[in-house]
Structure 1
Amino acid sequence: MTSVPSLLSETHQCPVPGGVLYLNELGSGPLVLVLGGISGDRQAITGADDGWWQGLVEAIDPNQFTIVTVDYAGGNGESEVVSVPQTIAEQAAYISTALQELGWVEFHAVVGGSYGGLVALELAQDKLLNFERVAVIGAAHRPTAQAVMLRALQREFVRLGDAAGQPERGTQLARALAMLSYRSADGMDQYYPDPQDAVNYIESRGLRTVQRSLPRARQLFEVFGPALDSYRIEPYHIEQPTLVIGFASDQLVPPSLLHAFHEQLPDGRGCHIFSSTYGHDGFIKNTADYAPVLKQFLELPCS
């Protein structure tokens, strides 16, 4: 297993319109932008070997690449902006501005998971930055009806909590429902033989999110969620070589959608679907399974 404890991460505070974005830089070599999920922050991969997406180093070795991670504007990190981005394009614009501020415009690759996959596609389409290749994990060109329905219910939980004078509880339940949608039925059965333990698990995840910051937790459902629902991109706009990865048990971004997306890409380099007991969260939990495919994609010439 690749270990990176000898490497130090450098934090950059980049001015953007109406605020500042925080980015981390780790490693040496060609730049690879790594964009995580909706609730992720820039501590995805760390020099202390304790990042929440640390398994990704098996594919993106910081001894070989300079890894750039971001605290999303309006997300769960230190970035602060007056105007929280209402769309994926606005989030991508903040990140693009910050990277250009640092003089980083030539990238070996952008790798995005879930929400970060959509931001990666938007950055690739925008072309203000030059990405040699694109890899998306658990993300496609449009949302499914099921994903939109689930996020609508999450927002309704937040509204009902407000109406009942219990905003924390409403947001906690919204996050619990989100956690349920991220996991597979088989996986929850396997890991929680006592179903009440499964209930306690998703409740605890919701509580942790609320305790971190209620205003920012609300934004995940009231702002980031609608941005996911409204996102559409024409696959033919993604001209870079593009790798697509997904999971058979993902109920938010199912294999059928990923295959349809890949078929429409001008330069698709494979749509790989992996078995997972974790559903959509396979992008975090199953790095050991897909890392060899991603590593090969990053290391092979794209011409």
Structure 2
Amino acid sequence: MSALKMAAQIDPQAQAPSYEGEDVFVAVPSDFSLETGDTLPDAHVRLRRYGRADGPVVIVSGGISSGRFIAGESGWWRDHVAPGKAIDLEAYCVFGFDFAPVEDHRVRLSPRDQARLIAVALDALGIGVIEAWVGSSYGGSVGLNFAAYAPARVKRLCVLCAAHKPAALARGWRGVQRRVVEFAIAQGDINQGLALARQLAMITYRSADEFEQRFEDGALDEAGRSSLDRYLIARGEAYIDAMAPQRWLSLSESIDRCALAPEGIAAPVTLVACPTDQIAPLEAIEELGRRVQNLAALRTLPSLYGHDSFLKESERVGAILREFLNHD
């Protein structure tokens, strides 16, 4: 990892394109407060810059488990953010960022709060207008909120598998997941609670057809578990090291606090919806498309992978992103 750099205005002559990225941490103002009135415990907004320092700025954001590492060997969207790829590091200055809170704290915050923090960071970096925001899942909600909060600061917006408000069914699932974690905390077994919540989440991220095809054999082993059970258990256990539980509770609640009036978004918007997405249903994204001022395109992405299609359908997502960024 390159050395940490505190926020300063970007010097376009400072470096050649950076493909692995470098950290840039921006101080959170002491008077910054969340919309709920809570105080954010974070000292910094943590970003990571990739690509050309003098290029048009593109911000990339994903689901609550993603973060600032978007490109390079450890990048969660390295299929798309790389030299010569859809979000070309030879052409753009690309930022990923960590959602607040960055440590294991439980605070009441919203996607609009995340957007306000990015505005603070851009101010500190001397960046007035960004070329584009590409956001998927929770990051798409944050992108929508940024475009509504600071409509003159983004030229175009691409939102994948996200809408302006949470679907009721998805809110119900997330509420159960949070109560599982809260119960586990009360019982002194927080890791098991987080793992169980992740197992339930994995079921909601994918489609029924995928599970039918992948786990057609429902035979139980001696422990009474099927191949699907073993898959979900493994995914839950892996999540223990990937996400801090109080932070997860904060971000899960934040999804359900999204309450955006999309009519305030002035930038051209490209929307991407998967018909089998149970988290951000096609109908909700179609409603969003009717309500924004300038719908550039609404692309459907048929996929077995449901909400995870933005992660799994690399070739088709890449084509959509190329079209989006090449559009005049």
- 1:270 and 2:297 matched: yes
Give the equivalent residue in structure 1 for 2:276. 249
| DSSP 3-state at the match of 1:14 | strand
- 1:71 and 2:98 matched: yes
| DSSP 3-state at the match of 2:88 | coil
Q: Name the Cα RMSD after superposition.
A: 2.1
Aligned-residue offset at 1:80: 4.9
Give the equivalent residue in structure 1 for 2:66. 40
- The within-5 A match list for 1:8-27 is 8-17=20-29, 18-27=42-51
Give the equivalent residue in structure 1 for 2:228. 198
Give the equivalent residue in structure 2 for 1:102. 125
Given that 1:96 and 1:129 are in contact with CA atoms closer than 8 Å, whether structure 2 keeps it comes out as: no
Aligned-residue offset at 1:280: 0.3
Letter of the aligned partner of 2:75 in structure 1? G
Give the equivalent residue in structure 2 for 1:218. 246
Given that 1:123 and 1:129 are in contact with CA atoms closer than 8 Å, whether structure 2 keeps it comes out as: no
Query: How many residues are matched?
Result: 288
Q: Cα deviation per residue 1:47-75 (whole Å; 9 max; x = unaligned)?
A: x4x4211122332111121111001122x
Aligned-residue offset at 1:300: 1.6
Q: Take 2:105 and 2:232, find their aligned partners in 1: how far apart are those partners?
A: 31
Give the equivalent residue in structure 1 for 2:8. none
Q: Cα deviation per residue 1:149-169 (whole Å; 9 max; x = unaligned)?
A: 000110111122233332221
1:230 is matched with which residue: 253, 257, 275? 257
- 1:261 and 2:288 matched: yes
Between 1:283-292 and 1:148-157, the stretch displaced more is 283-292
Aligned-residue offset at 1:83: 8.0
Q: Take 2:316 and 2:46, find their aligned partners in 1: how far apart are those partners?
A: 30
Give the equivalent residue in structure 1 for 2:185. 162
1:174 is matched with which residue: 187, 194, 197? 197
* Cα pair distance change 1:200/1:104, threshold 3 Å: farther
Q: Runs of 5+ in structure 1 lacking a partner? A: none
Structure with the bigger percentage of helix: 1
Aligned-residue offset at 1:11: 1.3
TM-score, structure 2 as length reference: 0.82
Give the equivalent residue in structure 1 for 2:175. 152
Aligned-residue offset at 1:117: 0.4
| DSSP 3-state at the match of 1:232 | coil
Give the equivalent residue in structure 2 for 1:300. 327
Between 1:278-287 and 1:82-91, the stretch displaced more is 82-91
Give the equivalent residue in structure 1 for 2:166. 143
Letter of the aligned partner of 2:48 in structure 1? N
Given that 1:106 and 1:131 are in contact with CA atoms closer than 8 Å, whether structure 2 keeps it comes out as: yes
Aligned-residue offset at 1:81: 9.3
Give the equivalent residue in structure 2 for 1:93. 116
Q: Cα deviation per residue 1:142-199 (whole Å; 9 max; x = unaligned)?
A: 1111011000110111122233332221111111111111111111232334452222
Q: Take 2:288 and 2:280, find their aligned partners in 1: how far apart are those partners?
A: 11
Aligned-residue offset at 1:86: 1.4
Aligned-residue offset at 1:120: 0.4
Between 1:5-14 and 1:52-61, the stretch displaced more is 5-14
Aligned-residue offset at 1:278: 1.0
**Structure of greater Rg:** 2
Q: Cα deviation per residue 1:240-277 (whole Å; 9 max; x = unaligned)?
A: 00000011110111111111110111100111111111
- 1:54 and 2:78 matched: yes
* Cα pair distance change 1:70/1:129, threshold 3 Å: farther
TM-score, structure 1 as length reference: 0.88
Given that 1:134 and 1:241 are in contact with CA atoms closer than 8 Å, whether structure 2 keeps it comes out as: yes
Between 1:96-105 and 1:255-264, the stretch displaced more is 96-105
